[in-house]
A = this chain, B = another copy of it.
Amino acid sequence: MDVRVSLKDVAAHAGVSIKTVSNVVNNYQHVTPAMRERVQRSIDALGYRPNLAARHLRKGRTGIIALALPELGNPYFAELAAAVIDAATRHEYIVLLDHTGGRREQEILVSQGFRARVIDGLILSPIELEAEDLRDRPENVPLVLLGERDYDLPYDHIAIDNVAAARDAVRHLVGLGRREVAFIGARRGRSEPAQLRVRGWREELRAAGLSADDGLVAATDGWGHADGAAAMARILDSGRRPDAVFAYNDPMAIGAMRVLHARGLRVPEDVAVVGFDDVVEGRFGAVTLTSVSPDKEAIGRLAVESVLARLGGQAPEPRRVRAEYRLVGRESTLGHHPADDGVNGASGANSADSAHG
């Protein structure tokens, strides 16, 4: 079936003009019910399906948006991708996925549209990209930015309030009596203002009258389990003995917990740990992980809506959209709850919960 049937074939079959078939396909209003039915019958009979390439050529739109993420291995991005795909599907848009590895080179290529040249719009979650890299990119493809990096540029940006979220996490730890809170996952060789989570960590510690010296910050190259483990090991090897750790994301927090466990330190009794992103994995370790939980579904939805809003050449004022988040308290800060084995739906969210926009 479905060898290749065009409007012309359907028109011949129904004995009408090509445009009339097109009108039926596109639900054009001035078509009599009788005619509509006749044409529809031919469409069904022949199994006609519109050729999108031709439609795109004619309309100048492709119906495709690109989503460029640092890496899919991190479940946060995978779940975010799922949210974007679902949101796009609701608008009859298709998502083309790309990954940059968080490398500036790749991020530039993507932002310039060199990797995918068939797209109507682009959603990009940059890691190393700098503001200057976005100066002269093609104007006809709208761009929406996601994530922690904050640029002073005329593009929409969707993110949670990273500084506030980091402060909440640290406040949670301080409220539990912790006095020496390490940060794992600063970016190597970057000015701090770019690092909203470090900034929140520092601000909250200072506000509490606690130390936030450089010995408590571990910079890393990557953002995976192994990087978190290495950073944790480095802090312990330096002789510091923090009683709490705030990690840039969940995989790093889990990597850090692995090292703590291997060295005989108990979580949370000796060291409390808070992660970021609330990935599923954190809910099923031997010690479940307290984490900042961004509303991924909302972020995906808002990103898609922002891109689509800019399609018709309309250019609404660039806006910074704040998605909501919650701090979800689990065993890595609150200790073990005997009944919780992950089988019950609620699986570990509890009193530390707090919602923010």
Contact = CB atoms under 8 A, between A and B. Distances in A.
A147 B251 CA distance: 26
Contact of A226 (B3, B75, B347): B347
15 contacts: A2-B139, A3-B139, A51-B57, A53-B118, A57-B57, A64-B118, A72-B72, A97-B97, A225-B280, A233-B341, A254-B284, A258-B284, A263-B341, A281-B281, A286-B287
Nearest to A94: B116
Contact of A75 (B63, B73, B81): B73
A27 B115 CA distance: 20
A25 to B, nearest CB: 13
Interface string A65-96: 00000011101011101100100010000111
A78 to B, nearest CB: 4
As for how many copies of this chain the complex holds, the number is 2
Given A51-B57, A72-B81, A4 B140 contact: yes
Interface range, A side: 35 or more
A262 interface: yes
A175 to B, nearest CB: 26
A283 B230 contact: no
Contact of A117 (B52, B57, B263): B52
A4 to B, nearest CB: 7
B262 A284 contact: no
Given A52-B118, A94-B118, A98-B85, A285 B283 contact: no
A259 interface: yes
B258 A342 contact: yes
B75 A97 contact: no
A206 to B, nearest CB: 31
Interface in A215-271: 224-226, 229-230, 233, 251, 254-255, 257-259, 261-263
A262 B96 contact: no
A77 B343 CA distance: 24
A320 interface: no
A341 B117 CA distance: 44
Contact of A79 (B2, B73, B255): B73
Contacts of A72: 72, 78-79, 81-82
